[in-house]
């Protein structure tokens, strides 16, 4: 069993898309998958929640809030894919829960870890989709995780934030979660015509000792469209299947099942 947190404080780099496609890869490999939406935007909930999921469905917000008696087990729902279960975000309320955690005091970073503990044995893989911020929700995700997977884009602005993210991950490891390791960096939105600058930046990342998961995920409009349409990459013919296989490879690496 592995808990993997998909993270980067930069917005729009592809954390949710990666979480979704890794979940599908896990399902296709016959694993029991739980995805956790730790972002009040609720994008993962929208992408993987069943069509009849009510807008005010209980979720992570309820499971973490001291105002609700709900546990994680109480808020798990089936996703659109059999074998993949979902902890919905719980909407904007998750934002209030973030504030609750800020003032909660000792032990607050471990709330999600404690909450997940009772359900872990029901799954082979737990994927936590983080919000684009290094706040209490993300600290909780990293404290609950065995593996941090950094999702980024091949450009300078994305590169700038990685050093800070790395320090945060290392601080969580030192203070709250000694087993946490950086499983790798997934480069998303990769353009086929790699510029010299992109090359330079990828070399820098590799030079910083961060494990780059090879190959990068290409930028294709249909990868974005598949999100919105609830379609899996493997349902999109050979080109989609080829990208789906990249996610399967990266999942295996993140699980530590392959060097």
Ligand X SMILES: Nc1ncnc2c1ncn2[C@@H]1O[C@H](COP(=O)(O)OP(=O)(O)OP(=O)(O)O)[C@@H](O)[C@H]1O
Residues forming the site for Mg ion (CB under 5 A): 15-16, 43
Our CB check for Mg ion shows the closer of 15 and 98 to be 15
Q: Which of 37, 39, 85, 109 binds ligand X (CB under 6 A)?
A: 39
What x-and-dash track marks residues 200-239 binding ligand X by CB under 6 A? -----------------x-xxx-xx--x------------
What x-and-dash track marks residues 89-128 binding ligand X by CB under 6 A? ----------------------------------------
Say which residue the tokens 């999702």 belong to: 151
Class of residue 39 by CB neighbours under 10 A (exposed 0-12, middle 13-18, buried 19+): buried
Distance CA(138)–CA(144), nearest Å, equals 10
Among 4, 11, 14, which Cα is nearest to 224's? Answer: 14
Report CA torsion sign: 237, 13, 44, 30. positive
Task: Supply 191's token pair.
Answer: 């353009």
Sheet with 84-87: strands ordered across: 77-78, 84-87, 33-38, 125-130, 2-7, 147-152, 181-187
Under rule CB under 6 A, residue 13 binds ligand X: yes
How many other CB atoms are found less than 10 A from the CB of residue 25?
24
224 binds, among Mg ion, ligand X, none (CB under 5 to 8 A by kind): ligand X
142 binds, among Mg ion, ligand X, none (CB under 5 to 8 A by kind): none
CB 15 within 8 A of CB 128: no
Our CB check for ligand X shows the closer of 198 and 227 to be 227
17 binds, among ligand X, Mg ion, none (CB under 5 to 8 A by kind): ligand X
Question: Least CB distance from residue 19 to ligand X, whole Å?
Answer: 8
Q: Which of 5, 7, 17, 240 binds ligand X (CB under 6 A)?
A: 17
Our CB check for ligand X shows the closer of 134 and 223 to be 223
What x-and-dash track marks residues 127-166 binding ligand X by CB under 6 A? -----x----------------------------------
How many other CB atoms are found less than 10 A from the CB of residue 106?
6
11 binds, among ligand X, Mg ion, none (CB under 5 to 8 A by kind): ligand X
Interface size with ligand X, residues (CB under 6 A): 20
Find the DSSP H helices in 111-220: 111-116, 136-144, 156-175, 196-207
Say which residue the tokens 């032990």 belong to: 107
Beta strand 33-38 with 125-130: parallel, antiparallel or unpaired? parallel
217 binds, among Mg ion, ligand X, none (CB under 5 to 8 A by kind): ligand X
Q: Where along the sequence are the contacts to ligand X (CB under 6 A)?
A: 11-17, 39, 41, 43, 132, 188-189, 217, 219-221, 223-224, 227
């Amino acid at each position: 069993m592995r808990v993997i947190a998909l993270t980067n404080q930069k917005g729009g780099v592809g954390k949710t898309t990666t979480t979704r496609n890794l979940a599908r890869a896990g399902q296709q490999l016959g694993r029991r998958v739980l995805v956790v939406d730790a972002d009040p935007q609720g994008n993962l909930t929208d992408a993987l929640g069943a069509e009849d999921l009510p807008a005010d469905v209980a979720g992570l917000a309820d499971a973490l809030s001291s105002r609700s008696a709900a546990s994680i087990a109480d808020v798990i729902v089936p996703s659109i894919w059999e074998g993949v279960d979902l902890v919905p975000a719980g909407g904007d309320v998750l934002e209030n829960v973030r504030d609750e955690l800020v003032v909660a005091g000792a032990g607050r970073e471990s709330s999600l870890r404690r909450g997940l503990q009772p359900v872990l044995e029901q799954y082979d893989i737990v994927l936590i989709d983080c919000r684009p911020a290094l706040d209490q929700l993300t600290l909780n995700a990293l404290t609950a995780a065995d593996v941090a997977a950094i999702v980024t884009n091949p450009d300078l602005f994305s590169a700038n934030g990685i050093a800070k993210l790395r320090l945060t991950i290392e601080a969580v490891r030192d203070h709250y979660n000694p087993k946490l390791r950086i499983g790798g960096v997934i480069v998303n939105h990769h353009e086929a015509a790699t510029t010299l600058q992109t090359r330079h930046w990828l070399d820098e990342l590799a030079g910083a000792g961060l494990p780059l998961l090879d190959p990068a995920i290409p930028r294709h409009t249909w990868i974005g469209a598949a999100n919105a349409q609830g379609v899996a990459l493997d349902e999109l013919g050979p080109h989609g299947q080829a990208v789906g296989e990249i996610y399967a490879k990266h999942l295996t690496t993140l699980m530590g099942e392959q060097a």
